[in-house]
Amino acid sequence: MKKYIIFILIAIVGWSLATTFKAIPFGADRRGDLNNPDKVAAYYLKESPETLQTANSITAIVVNFRGFDTLGEVTVLFLAATGLASILYRKEDDEEEKEASKKDVERVRLPSSSLVRTGAKILFPLILLLGIYVFVHGHLTPGGGFQGGAIIATGFLLMLITYKHFETNHNVMVWLESLAGLAFVAVGLYGLFVYGSFLQNTHSVGTLNDLISGGLIPLIYIFIGIKVGTELTNILDILLKIKKS
């Protein structure tokens, strides 16, 4: 009986998705011109600097015009990180076993020289600063939340493979990731309730090429950068630890 119920539910979801996608005029501009998709690109290039005051048109497309895509990408990354953590997670029966398990885990790395360790200490804060710069300025220059978050995770990766006993605070990472994700959704709901469309940008978009411009776009990229950086760092931290034989 359960199999039939599951099959019916899948069929209903599939039918709903098929009818929804069929109704979407892919490649059409506001006038519904399906025969000239170039008008869509021209619209994006025109509206990004004029209406949204965003110098980076790719950012305007990813975060504003196609904001649902970005929301889906962030969701996929979250599910991937959650799935990996659930696979590698081993539930302990009591506190003593947890402590024993912590002592029975070591970082996977090759011995690092003093030169590498010194270089890692110098580069680590600079890499973090670069990652923050990339997603804060994502609406002005090439880059954005995903790129900046990946750069930040690279900085933590450098420390994780250089120092055997370097530890990230898992609780802090989880809280940052959760708050960033909730803030992203909150911004989308703000656009829905205030302007009538989910992830709709604010009317106060600022001045082109100013740091505070683009309305909600830079704010969304900051949340994405924090979320991506913390998720990737947690994944790397899990993968670089093995149980001693």
Residues above pLDDT 90, as percent of the chain: 12
Cα torsion 45, 72, 219, 172: sign: negative
For residues 142 and 129, the model is more confident at 129
pLDDT beyond 80 at 152: yes
- CA–CA distance, 53 with 212 (Å, rounded to integer): 10
For residues 76 and 89, the model is more confident at 76
Tokens 């209406």 locate to: 51
pLDDT beyond 70 at 99: no
- CA–CA distance, 55 with 143 (Å, rounded to integer): 12
pLDDT beyond 90 at 209: no
pLDDT for the residue 110: 59
For residues 116 and 92, the model is more confident at 116
Q: Tens digit of pLDDT for each residue in 13-50?
A: 889 888 888 877 665 555 555 455 567 777 788 888 88
Min mean pLDDT across 9-23, 34-48, 85-99, 173-187 is at 85-99
Which contacts qualify for 81-89: CB closer than 8 Å, 24 or more apart?
81/231, 81/232, 81/234, 81/235, 84/235, 84/238, 84/239, 85/234, 85/235, 85/238, 88/238
Can you give the residue ranges of every domain in the chain? 65-243
pLDDT for the residue 154: 94
